[in-house]
Amino acid sequence: MSGMLIEVLENEQKNNNKTLKNLYKISFMTGVNIKYKTGFKDPVKLVNLFLITISLLGLCAQYCLVWHNRREPFTESADAICTANQAWISIFKLIYLVFVQHEFYDLLHAAIDGNLLYDLGIFDLDL
């Protein structure tokens, strides 16, 4: 009986690892490395800071375009304004992820270990 239980648990662990592998890839593509606990000098954070800097430089170019076309009809600068707003959203997201990345790691590993369920008291059997 215990051999079957161990086999079932190992199969479930393999299935969970497949799902986690996809989650690690997706999070890495969004700029968060939740596979390992990271410090401030993590390469992903440095890339995020580089992207923030480049985006801010791009915003300067967008606003210069709007400034030089201020006497033209609004349609001339509408595209630049929309692109600048998208860049601001991306910059805020990257800044948020730089400072909150370790919390994603802690939350994921608390869920993997089952600590979240134990803290909720689901397994308390006070009958």
At residue 12's C-alpha, the angle toward residues 11 and 17, to 5°, is: 100
Query: Tens digit of pLDDT per residue, the chain (127 long)?
Result: 678 878 887 888 888 888 888 888 887 777 777 777 766 667 777 888 898 999 999 999 999 999 998 898 888 889 889 999 999 998 998 888 888 877 877 888 777 777 766 777 766 666 5
Q: Which two tokens stand for residue 8?
A: 């079932």
At residue 74's C-alpha, the angle toward residues 72 and 78, to 5°, is: 125
pTM: 0.62
